[in-house]
Amino acid sequence: MKPVAEWQQVTPTLFVWSDYNPDCKTDCASTAVLTPEGLVLIDPFRLEPGAFEELTAIRPVAGIVLTNGNHDRDALSEQQRLNVPLRTADSVRDGDILFGSLRAISLPGGGTNETAYLAGEALIVGDALINLDGLAILPDKYCEDPKELRRSLGKLAEVDFEILCFAHGLPITQGAKARVLGLI
């Protein structure tokens, strides 16, 4: 995937960028979250140098986090280039707190080691939920266990969030939890 030219600020601590990925034939998105330790890139693919410099002028990158085993994207090359920790989905457990404020929420049944991250009022998901042609659960053909994914999404009823960011699709910036609860 070619580097993306710009990012959008969703809140003072939440940033997203997206583009069409011809390899997987769908829109892909990356998120950056400002944590006490610095910016954390979630499921990153590369920004163009000017856009990256603009983003990191806010705070340097403290680390990289993946939401599942299918989202390597540019994570390894960015980790090596930036010399920051990389937390893969298989190294994170439900309830772990990463970089001082990202709470891991395991969502088994989606992609390999599917994990969402709560950052303040924002929930960042990998493949469990998508927002391409409207909010949807990952289609069964891409799930490790579709029934288990639907059960694990029920955990989100106990999580407080207003904003939802995706690995595939644009963020929902208001009323996200109510929309998710209506879906599941």
| pLDDT per residue rounded down to tens, the chain (184 residues) | 789 899 999 999 999 999 887 777 878 899 999 999 999 999 999 999 999 999 999 999 999 999 987 777 888 889 999 999 999 888 999 999 999 999 999 999 998 999 999 999 999 999 999 999 899 999 999 899 999 999 999 999 999 999 999 999 999 999 999 999 999 8
pLDDT of residue 32: 98
pLDDT of residue 53: 97
Question: Contact at 8 Å (CB) between 45 and 24?
Answer: no
Taking the CA atoms of 24, 129, 79 and 32 in sequence, report the sign of the dihedral they define: positive
The DSSP output letter for 63 is E
CB atoms within 10 A of CB 75: 21
Q: pTM for this one?
A: 0.94
What domains are defined for the chain? Answer: 8-183 (3.60.15.10)
- Cα separation values, 35 from 76, 119, 155, Å: 21, 8, 24
pLDDT of residue 21: 73
Helix (H, G, I), strand (E, B) or coil at 90: helix
The alpha carbon of 13 is separated from its chain's Cα centroid by a whole number of angstroms, namely: 14
Phi, psi of 132 (to 5 degrees): -95, -60
- Give me the residue label for tokens 């960042």: 124
The DSSP output letter for 42 is E
For residues 32 and 112, give the distance between their C-alpha atoms in angstroms, rounded to a whole number. 22
Residue 78's nearest CA partner among 23, 30, 126 is 30
Token pair for 120: 């303040």
pLDDT of residue 20: 80
For residues 40 and 59, give the distance between their C-alpha atoms in angstroms, rounded to a whole number. 10
pLDDT of residue 97: 97
pLDDT of residue 151: 96
